Structure 1
Amino acid sequence: MEDIQSEPALHKVLGYGPDGYHEIAYAEWGNPDPQQTVICVHGLTRNARDFDKLARRLAENNHVLCPDVVGRGNSDWLADHSHYTLDQFAADQRQVIARSGANTVDWVGTSMGGLIGIVLASEKRSPLRRLVINDIGPFIPVAAVRRIKDYLGVDPEFSSLDEAEAYLRQIYAQTIPMTDEDWTHYTQHGLRMDEQGKYRLHSDPKIGETIKRYWAFMHVNLWSRWDRIECPVLVIRGEKSDFLTESIAQRMATTGPKAEVITIPDIGHHPSLQSQEQISMITDWFDKSAI
C-alpha cells in the first residue's frame, strides 16, 4: 500500500452566483481516480479540515475532495449574505464535482453537508452514486434551529488559542467523541487572525443572518426531494439529536431510497466522525455497498 499523505493538497475552483464569481477552496487527498472519488462536506459553521481523519482513511482506496462551503474556511465570503442559500451551496458543489474529473462520486455530508447531498442526489441523472448523511434529514424541526441560532451570526474574538478552544468546546458540546487532539485540530483550523492580532472564527459571521431571518420561523422541508433519490443512502444519527429525531429517521428508512440508519447511543447533534468506530461505519458501508 502506498504511503498515505499526512496533509492534503489545497486547491481552489471558481463558483458563480448573484454576486458574480467566487473561489471555492478544497482539500484533496489521494490520487485522482474517476472511478473512486468521495466528496466530504462539512456542517453549517465548520470547514473542510473537520474530515482529515476520515479523508486519510478513505484515501487508502479513493480520491477524496473536502471543500470549504462558500463563506467558510479558505473559500470566499459573499458580498450579500442573503445569497448564502442551499441552492448556491449546491451550485458550488457541482463545480467541485466537475473539477474532480469523475462522472460519479460518493458523498459524505455532515449536517448542512447532508442537506446539500440530498439536493444533489435528488436531481435527474445525479452524479451521486452513494450518499452518507451525518445527523440531518429532509425535515428540520424549528426547535433545533432556534437552539443554535443564538451563536449564529456572532463574531467573538479571542486573545489566545486556549480561549478559543474553550468556546468551541462549549458550542459544539454535542459533537462527540472528541479527544484533546481533536479539539486542538478543530481550533487550529477553525480560526483566522484579524488585523489586530485577535483570533476569530474562520467563517463569515453573516452566515447566520439568513438562518435567523428565515429558518428560525419555518420548517426546512426537503421530503419531495428525498422521494426522488435513487442511490443507496446511509444515515448516521445521534440518539439524542434534535435535528434528526427518531421519527424523522424512521421515515427516511421507509420512504424514498429507504436509507440504512445507524443510531449511535448517548450522542446529540452530531456524531463527530473522529473516532475509528464512527469512521469504520462509513468505510464498512462503502465496502459492502460497492457497485
Structure 2
Amino acid sequence: MQEASIKHVQCLSPTGLHRMAYKEWGDPLNPRVLVCVHGVTRVSDDFDELAAALSDTWRVVCPDIVGRGRSGRLLDARNYQLPQYVADIVTLLARLDAGTVDWFGTSMGGLIGLGLAGLPGNPVHRLILNDIGPTLNPAALARIGDYIGQDMRFATFEEGASYIKSISLSFGPHSDAQWHKLASDVLRQNADGQWVRHYDLALAVPFKNATAESTLQGEALLWHAYDAVRCPTLLVRGAQSDLLTPATAREMTQRGPKARLVELDGIGHAPTFVQSDQIALVREFLLGQPA
C-alpha cells in the first residue's frame, strides 16, 4: 500500500494551543482535495484503504481530531465538541491552502462536515455523510457515551483486539486481517506495557454533561446547518444502524440539500469503507456519477 505523509498543524482552543495530526496521501499540489474524518473514538488510520485507492485522483487528507490518535489533548475536556472541531478543520484547510474540498465524514466526522458545509462561504464542494444526521437515536447515543469513558486495559494485544471487535460488530462483515487492522489502529501500549485505546478518556465529559435541553438545542442547530447546505450530498446508512433512524434518513432526502440516500445491507453503525464496493461508491459520487 502507498505510504502517507504524517504532518501536524497547530490549532487554538479557549484554554491554549494543541497540535492536530493528519495523514496526507497523493500529490500535495493536487487542487482536488478530499478530507476524510473519523468517528468519535476512531482515528485517521481508518481511511488507509480508501485514501490509497482515491489518491490517484485526489489529494486525500485524514486528520486525527483532537483528543484522538496522534493529535494532542485539550486542557478543558468540555471543549471536546463540534465548534472546536470545526474551528480546527478551518485551521487545517488554511494550512492545506485548499480553495474547495470534498468531504467524507463517518459519524462524528459527518457532523463536523455538516457544521462546516452549513456555514456561509464554506469550501465544501461535495459532501458524504456516513451513517449520521442531525437527529440521533438517544438510546444509541447513551450506548456510545457509556463505553467512551471506560478505562479499559488489556494485558495482550489479542485481548484488546477481541474487545474492539466486540464493540464494533455493527461495522458489518470483515476478514480477520481487516478486524486486526481496525483494532491495531486504535490500540496502543502504555508505559506499563498494557494495551489501551488511543484516545483521551475525557472525551466522555460532554456526553455526561449533556441534558435533555442541550441535546434538543444541539439537534435544532444541526438541522439549521443541514438546511443551509447547498452542495451535492450523499447519505450512506447502514441498514441496521441504531444511530441514524430510517425516519431521519428519509427526512434528509426531503429537505436541505435533499441528500441522495444509499443503504448498505447487513451493516449497522457504521460502514467502514474498506471494502472495494464501498470505495467505488465514494469515487462515483465524488466524480458526479450515479451512486
Give the TM-score normalised by the residue count of structure 2.
0.95
CA deviations 1:129-174 (Å, max 9, x no partner) are: 1100100001112122012222111121111111110000011110
1:68-87 equivalences under 5 Å are 68-87=64-83
Within the alignment, does 1:166 sit opposite 2:157 as a pair?
no
**Cα distance in structure 2, aligned partners of 1:215 and 1:167:** 29
Unaligned 5+ runs, structure 2: none
Deviates more, 1:179-188 or 1:78-87: 179-188
**Cα distance in structure 2, aligned partners of 1:170 and 1:247:** 27
Within the alignment, does 1:269 sit opposite 2:265 as a pair?
no
- Contact 1:34-1:104 within 8 A present in 2 as well: no
One-letter code of the match for 1:120?
L
Instruction: Tell me the residue number matched to 2:279.
Output: 279
**Cα distance in structure 2, aligned partners of 1:175 and 1:216:** 28
**Cα distance in structure 1, aligned partners of 2:146 and 2:175:** 26
Within the alignment, does 1:209 sit opposite 2:184 as a pair?
no
Identity %: 39
Structure 1 pair 190/82, CA: closer, same or farther in 2 (3 Å)? same
**Cα distance in structure 1, aligned partners of 2:90 and 2:269:** 27
1:101-250 equivalences under 5 Å are 101-214=97-210, 218-219=215-216, 220-221=218-219, 222-250=222-250
Within the alignment, does 1:20 sit opposite 2:28 as a pair?
no
Tell me the CA shift for residue 266 of structure 1: 2.2
RMSD: 1.5
CA deviations 1:106-151 (Å, max 9, x no partner) are: 0000000000000000000110111001000011121220122221
1 or 2, which has the higher helix percentage? Answer: 2
- Contact 1:119-1:225 within 8 A present in 2 as well: yes
Instruction: Tell me the residue number matched to 1:96.
Output: 92
**Cα distance in structure 2, aligned partners of 1:24 and 1:49:** 14
**Cα distance in structure 1, aligned partners of 2:173 and 2:236:** 14
State the secondary structure of the residue aligned to 1:87. Answer: helix
**Cα distance in structure 2, aligned partners of 1:234 and 1:143:** 25
State the secondary structure of the residue aligned to 1:117. Answer: helix
- Contact 1:70-1:77 within 8 A present in 2 as well: yes
Tell me the CA shift for residue 215 of structure 1: 6.3
CA deviations 1:31-75 (Å, max 9, x no partner) are: 124531000000000000000000001101110100000000000
- Contact 1:131-1:233 within 8 A present in 2 as well: yes
Tell me the CA shift for residue 101 of structure 1: 1.6
**Cα distance in structure 2, aligned partners of 1:198 and 1:216:** 37
Instruction: Tell me the residue number matched to 2:41.
Output: 45
Instruction: Tell me the residue number matched to 2:26.
Output: 30
**Cα distance in structure 2, aligned partners of 1:230 and 1:22:** 32
CA deviations 1:194-230 (Å, max 9, x no partner) are: 1111111000011012112216773441111111000
Q: Give the count of matched residue pairs.
A: 286
Structure 1 pair 239/127, CA: closer, same or farther in 2 (3 Å)? same
Tell me the CA shift for residue 289 of structure 1: 5.3
Deviates more, 1:184-193 or 1:243-252: 184-193
State the secondary structure of the residue aligned to 2:11. Answer: strand
**Cα distance in structure 2, aligned partners of 1:215 and 1:142:** 11
**Cα distance in structure 1, aligned partners of 2:212 and 2:278:** 30
Show structure 1 runs of 4+ deviating over 6 A: none
**Cα distance in structure 1, aligned partners of 2:6 and 2:77:** 25
**Cα distance in structure 1, aligned partners of 2:130 and 2:212:** 21
Give the TM-score normalised by the residue count of structure 1.
0.95
**Cα distance in structure 2, aligned partners of 1:205 and 1:216:** 23
